[in-house]
């Protein structure tokens, strides 16, 4: 028997998630049967976009009470009675906040050693080559459609989605402006190639700060935040500007979302605003991963990871996504170091 630990949803969060919203359970897994594998989960992700599903239906149905909290994960096959998965193989998929699981392999893939080697770490599979990086890739390329010489603004720019989108803008020979919540994060943005970085906590009038950074206006706004930041960007958009709605982290923990208040520029500046759910592009995921990995290997795309040790710390790691303490792609190493 293998002891299994998992975090389940104990109650629906009201506002900022609390420790009591989750329950850590422990029990023994059964022996595997023909066609099944036993997987030890090594790393899991904590994702801000999951917050909405803890309380209500969102891009997918609400997570059921008592269900394992969903997330991406990387694991190792400990035992296999499935010819598709050898013992010792590194695998990834939607594993959830848990230490082990038994599976017939549906939705699970072996990490391709031709991709995940050298500077492309195995954890990239659930980071810059996972949903965050793919969100940036398709959001900017398919919805933003950047053209050389344009100005691209990115909010929550020090996160994996934002940092990837900003670096892609530079690859397309655009000016990249990032908004982040600390001087250290702004320094990081400049280090990876952003032309300007704005600390929204110290900038004062954000509308004026954006005007100073982009005096001719913004062509593309890659929005991960919503709220007041979105309105400030709208007031600085150029004619025919495009707004890509990737996330709304400022709205996830409020029962009364602020929403958009500046709508007149949509008429005067002929703006377009569109949201995306990255899973709509699943048929193109492998093509995008290959491109992202190519950029990493050739020094055009960098990434930052933040590892929290211990499955027991997953709820606090998740909560920290909404308090500004996270810096880069936040992952949890399931077994404490």
pLDDT digits over 243-263, tens only? 999 999 888 888 788 889 999
Give the separation between CA 228 and CA 158, rounded to whole angstroms.
18
The answer to whether 134 and 288 have CB atoms below 8 angstroms apart is yes
Mean pLDDT of 3-20: 95
In the chain, which residues fall in CATH 3.90.180.10? 2-127+303-333
281-296 pLDDT per residue, tens: 999 999 999 999 999 9
132-279 folds as Rossmann fold (3.40.50)
Mean pLDDT of 312-324: 95
2-127+303-333 folds as Quinone Oxidoreductase; Chain A, domain 1 (3.90.180)
Largest interatomic CA distance in the chain: 66
Which residues are paired to 331 by β-bridges? Answer: 45, 307
Rounded to 5 degrees, what angle do the CA atoms 104, 108, 110 make? 115
Could you tell me which residues come within 8 angstroms of residue 108 by beta carbon, excluding any fewer than 6 positions away? 39, 85, 91, 92, 93
The mean of the pLDDT values for the chain is 95
What is the predicted pLDDT for the residue at 65? 97
What percentage of the chain exceeds 70 in pLDDT?
99
In the chain, which residues fall in CATH 3.40.50.720? 132-279
């Amino acid at each position: 028997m293998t002891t299994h630990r998992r975090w389940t949803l104990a109650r629906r969060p009201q506002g900022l998630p609390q420790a009591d919203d989750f329950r850590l359970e422990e029990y023994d897994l059964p022996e595997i049967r023909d066609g099944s594998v036993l997987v030890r989960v090594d790393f899991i992700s904590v994702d801000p976009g999951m917050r909405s599903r803890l309380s209500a239906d969102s891009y997918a149905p609400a997570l059921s009470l008592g269900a394992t909290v969903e997330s991406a994960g990387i694991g190792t096959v400990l035992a296999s009675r499935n010819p598709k998965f050898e013992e010792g193989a590194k695998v990834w998929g939607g594993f959830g906040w848990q230490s082990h699981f038994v599976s017939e392999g549906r939705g699970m893939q072996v990490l391709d050693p031709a991709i995940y080697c050298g500077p492309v770490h195995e954890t990239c599979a659930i980071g810059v080559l996972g949903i965050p990086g793919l969100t940036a890739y398709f959001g900017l390329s398919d919805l933003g459609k950047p053209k050389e010489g344009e100005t691209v603004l990115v909010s929550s720019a020090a996160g994996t989605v934002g940092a990837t989108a900003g670096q892609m803008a530079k690859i397309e020979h655009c000016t990249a402006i990032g908004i982040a919540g600390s001087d250290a994060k702004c320094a990081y943005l400049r280090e990876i190639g952003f032309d300007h970085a704005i600390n929204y906590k110290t900038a004062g009038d954000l509308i004026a700060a954006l005007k100073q950074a982009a005096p001719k206006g913004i062509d593309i706004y890659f929005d991960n935040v919503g709220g007041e930041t979105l309105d400030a960007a709208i007031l600085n958009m150029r004619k025919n500007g495009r707004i890509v709605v990737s996330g709304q982290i400022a709205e996830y923990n409020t029962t009364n979302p602020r929403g958009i208040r500046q709508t007149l520029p949509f008429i005067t500046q002929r703006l377009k605003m569109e949201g995306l759910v990255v899973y709509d592009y699943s048929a193109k995921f492998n093509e995008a991963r290959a491109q992202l990995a190519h950029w990493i290997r050739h020094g055009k795309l960098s990434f930052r990871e933040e590892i929290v040790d211990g499955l027991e710390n997953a709820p606090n790691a998740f909560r920290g996504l909404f308090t500004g303490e996270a810096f880069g792609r936040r992952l949890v190493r399931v077994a404490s170091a």
